[in-house]
Amino acid sequence: MKLITAILKPFKLDDVKSALQAHGVNGMTVSEASGFGRQRGHTEVYRGAEYTVDLVPKVRLEVLVDDSDASSVVDVIVKAASTGSIGDGKVWTTPVDQIVRVRTGERGVDAI
């Protein structure tokens, strides 16, 4: 089993969600995040005060998948999230030892 984590541009969330649902992925967790990659920090004016921003708002999306699905799901996310410009984000997979569905107690692949 694998956890796929994706850091996305906020406005891309809807596109990625639709693509995942079309691909058959039914569950996900979404959270607000900030970060930077190779984007330069820049100066902003907010409420009249200047400050340097190197943390840019992003969205974190997490999906649990079976090993055999991992590769295709990553592809779906990358395709839907891509705009071709700086800041598109990254997607990565981590191995997962155990998953349990709280309501039913199902474990392992049945809990995905």
Reduce the DSSP state of residue 25 to 3 states and report it.
coil
- Which of 21, 39, 71, 83 touches another protein (CB under 8 A)? 83
How far is 24 from 4, CA to CA, in rounded Å? 15
Segment interacting with another protein, rule: CB under 8 A, options 19-27, 47-55, 72-80, 91-99: 47-55
Interacting residues with another protein between 91 and 110 (CB under 8 A): none
How far is 46 from 29, CA to CA, in rounded Å? 30
Reduce the DSSP state of residue 19 to 3 states and report it.
helix
Binding site for another protein (CB under 8 A): 9-11, 14, 32, 34, 44-48, 53, 57, 83, 85
